[in-house]
Amino acid sequence: MQLTGRQKEITRIVRENGPITGEMIAERLHVTRSALRGDLAVLLSGEVIAARRRLGYYYLGGGEDPAAAEIRSCTAESCMSRPIVVNVDTNAYDAAVLLFTEDIGTLFVGKEDDVLGVVSRKDLLKAAMGREDLAKVPISMVMTSRSKMIYAEPKEDMVSIAQKLIDYEIDCLPVGTFKDVGGEKKFVLQGRISKTNITRLFLDLGKGKQ
Amino acid sequence: MQLTGRQKEITRIVRENGPITGEMIAERLHVTRSALRGDLAVLLSGEVIAARRRLGYYYLGGGEDPAAAEIRSCTAESCMSRPIVVNVDTNAYDAAVLLFTEDIGTLFVGKEDDVLGVVSRKDLLKAAMGREDLAKVPISMVMTSRSKMIYAEPKEDMVSIAQKLIDYEIDCLPVGTFKDVGGEKKFVLQGRISKTNITRLFLDLGKGKQ
């Protein structure tokens, strides 16, 4: 079924927030409740949403962009690349060399089953601008440490990951999970997702390969 | 109409290469001509493709992923960001500072109506690793010059642009056109498209906002 822009927007609001009252939908769209009546009728008759007394509207399925549905079905696991991990003893110069030899933009520091931080091309350029000898700068001085690290769960969908990349202005996220190992919290790395992976996915979708 | 993976692949081949003979399609898919008979019949009856004697199969429209059609309708012009241009006299240190203050990954060198080259974070990090004082390195020594510059036309679709970003392993393309000005070829800049723009577009498509 072909929905208008506003109908799609209502569908999204109901899907993400339902059950939700008509008043609340109207408020989010900055329109009056009565201005929504027609659109809600269309969505109800098309069984995209349903209504229950005292509860509000809830999402039934469909009615959304096929592109959106297709994109939301992609998860980190199915799109991630192999991560490159360097020892915490590495210096910033050697880390930068590795970025070039591996042709990547981001490195992880520590071990695959215990990541301590993440280093990007941007971090290394900033360090280099300090005019210090990069070979004398420990990677741990340059990295973003685990406690501040933004990451993706293996089952996380790619839209949520793209949102993180944009919101936090980063190029690459580690994919993995925090695990309790003998009372200690460790980040176990499984992969990485960068804007390059998103671009590749976009390309596949655009070519109809997904 | 719901097509199988192979039917979508045939549709793509016919769309991109038609008119094309059945033998040529079979060759591209590494199957025999007779193995295609069923799929071609489906596509012909669904009026996704048509056939003409001595000419072969050609594309009629539809039959492709709605996601693919939606993605192909986005052009550089509608998605590009404002480009930052620095004078050719700038040194590499000042250029790197500008990357940080503007929070971007790529700068253009020259003037908006006469771009001489492009400089990325990667180029600057490479220069910094040479252990020279970046403030003494002219930007022209670091940049990729116009003759080797990969660029996008304003009307170019985003799938073609994503393909360039992946194929040439670059993060950002200038959007513009070459113009003859008094016998001289000049690149006139209109915008830039980076993997960040693609990620944003992916996000919009995933949320059903496009």
- A51-82 pLDDT, tens digit per residue, is 888 888 988 776 555 666 677 778 999 999 99
pLDDT of residue A63: 58
Which of A7, A121, A195, A201 would best serve as a mutation to test chain B binding (most B beta carbons within 10 A)?
Answer: A195
Nearest-CA distance A34 → chain B (Å): 23
DSSP assignment of A21-60 equals -HHHHHHHHTS-HHHHHHHHHHHHHTTSEEEETTTEEEE-
User: From 1.10.10.10, 3.40.30.10, 3.10.20.30, 3.60.21.10, which CATH number describes the A5-63 domain?
Assistant: 1.10.10.10
Question: What is this model's ipTM?
Answer: 0.70
Euclidean distance between CA atoms A73 and A69, whole angstroms: 6
Closest-CA residue in chain B for A105? Answer: B122
CA dihedral B105, B109, B115, B119 (to 10 degrees): -40
Model confidence pLDDT, tens digit, residues B139-172 = 999 999 999 999 999 999 999 999 999 999 999 9
Q: Pick the residue from chain A with its C-alpha nearest to B69.
A: A206
* pLDDT at residue B64, rounded to an integer: 54
Three-class DSSP category at A177? strand
Q: Which residues of B touch A162 (CB under 8 A)?
A: 199-200, 202-203, 206
| Chain A neighbors of B11, CB-CB under 8 A | 208
Asked whether the beta carbons of residue A198 and residue B200 sit closer than 8 angstroms, the reply is no
Record: contact A128-B133, CB cut-off 8 A:
no
CATH topology for the B76-206 domain: CBS-domain (3.10.580)
pLDDT for res A182: 86
CATH architecture label of B5-64: Orthogonal Bundle (1.10)
Instruction: Give how far A29 is from chain B: nearest CA, Å.
Output: 14
Residues of A in contact with B203 (CB under 8 A): 159, 162-163, 166
| Cα–Cα distances in angstroms (integers) from residue A87 to residues A110, A112, A138, B47, B89, in the given order | 5, 10, 11, 59, 40
pLDDT score for A165: 96
Contact B175, B190 (CB under 8 A): yes
Q: Average pLDDT for residues B88-97, to the nearest whole number?
A: 95
A20-55 pLDDT, tens digit per residue, is 999 999 999 988 888 888 888 888 887 888 888 888
Q: Strand A114-120 relative to strand A144-145: parallel, antiparallel, unpaired?
A: antiparallel
Nearest to B199 among A103, A134, A166 (CB): A166
Q: Is A125's CB within 8 Å of B71's CB?
A: no
Residue B170: name the closest of A103, A80, A198, A95 by CA: A103
Q: Pairing between strand B106-111 and B85-86?
A: parallel
Query: Mean of the per-residue pLDDT values for chain B?
Result: 89
The structure tokens listed for B188 are 């006139």
Give the domain ranges of chain B.
5-64, 76-206
Q: Which of B84, B86, B72 is nearest to B205 (CA)?
A: B72
Contact B67 A71 (CB under 8 A): yes
- In terms of phi and psi (left: phi > 0; alpha: psi -120 to 50; beta: otherwise), the region of B174 is beta
Pair of tokens at residue A81: 């690349």
Q: Tell me the CA distances in angstroms from B37 to B6, B27, B48, one per residue in order.
A: 12, 14, 15
- B121, B105 in Cβ contact below 8 A? yes
How far is residue A66's CA from residue B137's CA, in Å, rounded to a whole number?
Answer: 51
